[in-house]
Amino acid sequence: MNRIRPLIIQSVKFSKYSRGFKTYSRVFQDVQIKAKKEEQSNKNDQFKQSQLSKLEDQQRQGQIPLSQFIKGFTVATIFLVGGVLEGYWMGKTPENDRSVIELKDIERSPSYATVAVVNDAIQKIVKIVGEENITISEGEIKSHSADSSKFVLPKEDEEPYCVVYPRSSEQVSNIVKICYDKYIPIVPVSGGTSIEGHYIATRKGISLDLSRMNKLIALHEDDMDVVVQPGMEWTELNEILKPRGLMFGPDPAPGAMIGGIVSTNASGTNAYKFGGAKDNVLALKVVLADGTIIRTKRRSKKSSNGYNLTNLFIGAEGTLGIVVEATLKLHPLPKSEAIALMNFKTIGDATRTVADIVKSGIDCNALEFMDDRQMRAVIEMGSGGDRKWSAHHLLMMKLGGNNKGVVKESIKQVQSLGKKNGGFNFDVATNEADKNAIWQVRKTLLWNSLGWARKIKPNARVMPTDVCVPVSKLPALMSRVMAKMDDANLLATAAGHAGDGNLHILVIYEPEQIEIAHKLVNEMSRDAIKLDGTISGEHGIGMSDKRELLEEELGEVTIGAMRSIKYALDKRLIMNPDHI
């Protein structure tokens, strides 16, 4: 950890707009808009004052009668006082009195702190967290400036000045107060497993790493909830809960932490049964842009007491506030569970089986899909262990129940439904070692696909993305996407959470193909919208191309409403600027 000395940071040349700041999805009303209003108000005051002086001169020279002078003086005075009040209120009120902020209301890009101001702020932050909890190490800064996907690349002049590791809510609050006062951008990060550029800075500022805030604050077994800090890993939490027969539902990427899970509304393979973050968070403690700490709710399972502030911050990607504590809903561990596997020749056969399983009411804890190309990668890379895999589309199902008898009956039902739709190679795993080995294949598919692609194309890179559509629309979406990939000579594999229609595509490309890869990812998102779906089921927006597609999905007015919320909570636009 580099010792923090009086920090001398080189001057940085900022562009007026960073990363396309003028796009509808990321532009918010600037705090400096009032400067233009005040300038116009001053001009009005100067004109009124000059008219009053002219009136006085005319009276002294005898050019107008006294009665007319008094009348004119009174009127001019009224207008002058009115102008002063008008200027005051113009400086206090927003550009418009509408419910939404439109793009045309934006007049300029935000102005942030100079290097000298940042240096002064950093010395104050050192006093809050101690020298051991702040670094200007180049390696640390680089690791906090890019995610593992590498397809959203940081710009050198936008990397953070330093990385700060707070250890308490109070420290976060005090740091944010300094940044708010000095107009210093803040980018929060916890596990750093996201792949859409959520913690890639677009403005020089501070990276606030919450990974050292990793304590379990309180466990209420009878109420089936737990209170944790944002740096707690979900896998570590489940290890603590397992001996008590409890679990946290969402299971995103290994290494993901609660702060990031909440902020991106992440889910995972368990989403079909247990839902995503929004279904498993009861309450939050949040530090707002000016350092104010709020609690969104108490621990009760139900509440009908005003705005649902908890859900406002879930999926907000750190743009509205920083999650410093989360109260999470817990679930009983399945008493008995088996994993069933079945191959299909077509995607339509597989999705019809999914629909039949959903309608049947079978207790299914997870319902996953891997396409034939993904299965080829598993076979050729040897990542499937000793099990014999088939290079056909695959359904993977976790079947749960209170006892083995219930699970056994579910296995029979699933086999029957699958066979009716052309399923074959039906197999079941019941012991822990087999189940873990099978699910590991699903969890590591990104790296497995990349390794497979590099055997074919040594310079291959991977662009992971997700969309979500109604389950019945999955075959249409996949056929469109894969046809376009083939036409462009791009290799792609598909997998997803079949139970809720969440499709993950891994676009494999060579460096010179990056533009066409981005183009096809955008087209996939547009295809999802046309099928009444969404551009992201669980990855979030971050710095990906999807920012430009938000308006196409939700409409200009809805984006304007989001913009209004952002400006209401973060008037100085310091919280993870330019994201979403």
For 316-329, letters b (16+ CB in 10 Å) and e give bbbbbbbbbbbbbb
pLDDT of 4: 52
The 10s digit of each residue's pLDDT in 42-51 is 555 555 455 5
> In this structure, what are the phi and psi dihedrals at residue 175, rounded to the nearest 5 degrees?
-65, -45
Using pLDDT thresholds of 50, 70 and 90, give the confidence band for residue 107: low
DSSP letter for each residue of 39-103: HHHHHHHHHHHHHHHHHHHHHHTT-S-HHHHHHHHHHHHHHHHHHHHHHHHHHHS-S--SSS--G
> Does the pLDDT of residue 55 top 50, yes or no?
no
Q: Which of 389, 392, 381, 303 is nearest to 343 (CA)?
A: 392
The 10s digit of each residue's pLDDT in 174-204 is 999 999 999 999 999 999 888 887 888 889 9
Q: What mean pLDDT value characterizes the chain?
A: 85
Q: What mean pLDDT is predicted for residues 102-118?
A: 83
Contact between 494 and 481 under an 8 Å Cβ cutoff? The reply is: yes
> In this structure, what are the phi and psi dihedrals at residue 177, rounded to the nearest 5 degrees?
-60, -40
Contact between 28 and 131 under an 8 Å Cβ cutoff? The reply is: no
> Does the pLDDT of residue 235 top 90, yes or no?
yes
The 10s digit of each residue's pLDDT in 363-385 is 999 999 999 999 999 999 988 88
> Does the pLDDT of residue 8 top 80, yes or no?
no
531 Cβ contact partners less than 8 Å away, ≥ 6 residues apart? 469, 470, 473, 476, 477
pTM of the predicted structure, to 2 decimals: 0.82
Locate 476 and state its tokens.
């249409």
Contact between 104 and 27 under an 8 Å Cβ cutoff? The reply is: no
The 10s digit of each residue's pLDDT in 269-279 is 999 999 999 99
